[in-house]
Amino acid sequence: MRGGIAGPESDAGVVIRADVRNESRRVLDDVDHRAARALTWLVVLLFLAPLAGCAGPDGSASGAVPLCAQPERLGVLPPVLAEASGLAASRRHAGVLWLHNDSGGEPEVFAVDSAGAVLGRVRVTGAENDDWEDIALGPCPAGECLYIADTGDNGEAREFVTVYRVPEPEATDMATPAAERFRLRYPDGPRDAEALFVLPDARVYLVSKGRTSPITVYRAPTSLAADTATLLERVAELTDHAPLGMLHVTGAGATPDGRHVVVRTYVNLQLYRLDAGEFTAIGAPVALDALAEPQGEAVDIRADGTVLLASEERGGEAGPLSRLACVLEVDGVRGREASGTRHATNSERAASSSRPTLAPAARLPAPIR
Q: What is the pLDDT of residue 104?
A: 81
Q: What is the pLDDT of residue 161?
A: 98
Q: What is the pLDDT of residue 343?
A: 54
Q: What is the pLDDT of residue 276?
A: 86
Q: What is the pLDDT of residue 67?
A: 87
Q: What is the pLDDT of residue 80?
A: 97
DSSP letter for 361, please: H
CA 176 to chain CA mean position, Å? 24
Three-state DSSP class for residue 33: helix
Q: What is the pLDDT of residue 34?
A: 53
- Half-sphere exposure of 193 toward its Cβ, with a 13 Å CA cutoff? 32
Encode burial over 124-143: b for 16+ CB neighbours within 10 A, e otherwise.
beebebebbbbbbbbebeee
Q: What is the pLDDT of residue 129?
A: 97
- Please state, in angstroms and rounded to a whole number, the distance separating the CA atoms of residues 139 and 92: 12
Phi then psi for 23, rounded to 5 degrees?
-65, -40
Nearest CA-CA partner of 243 in 359, 368, 355: 368
pLDDT tens over the chain, length 369 residues: 333 333 333 343 333 333 434 444 443 444 445 555 555 545 444 444 433 333 333 334 434 557 899 899 999 999 999 999 999 999 999 999 999 999 888 999 999 999 999 999 999 999 999 999 999 999 999 999 999 999 999 999 999 999 999 999 999 999 999 999 999 999 999 999 999 999 999 999 999 999 999 999 999 999 899 999 999 999 999 999 999 999 999 999 999 999 999 999 999 999 999 998 899 999 989 999 999 999 999 999 999 999 999 999 999 999 999 999 999 864 445 443 334 455 545 444 444 333 322 222 233 334 433
Q: What is the pLDDT of residue 357?
A: 24
The domain 72-363 having CATH identifier 1.10.3470: the answer here is: no
Task: Tell me the domain boundaries of the chain.
Answer: 8-52, 72-363
Nearest CA-CA partner of 339 in 331, 347, 348, 349: 331
**In contact, 51 and 268? CB cutoff 8 Å:** no
Residues 6+ positions from 36 with CB-CB distance below 8 Å: none
Q: What is the pLDDT of residue 103?
A: 87
- Half-sphere exposure of 300 toward its Cβ, with a 13 Å CA cutoff? 25
DSSP of 319-345:
PEEEEEEB--EETTEET-GGG-EEEPB
Three-state DSSP class for residue 83: coil
**In contact, 146 and 190? CB cutoff 8 Å:** no
Q: What is the pLDDT of residue 329?
A: 62
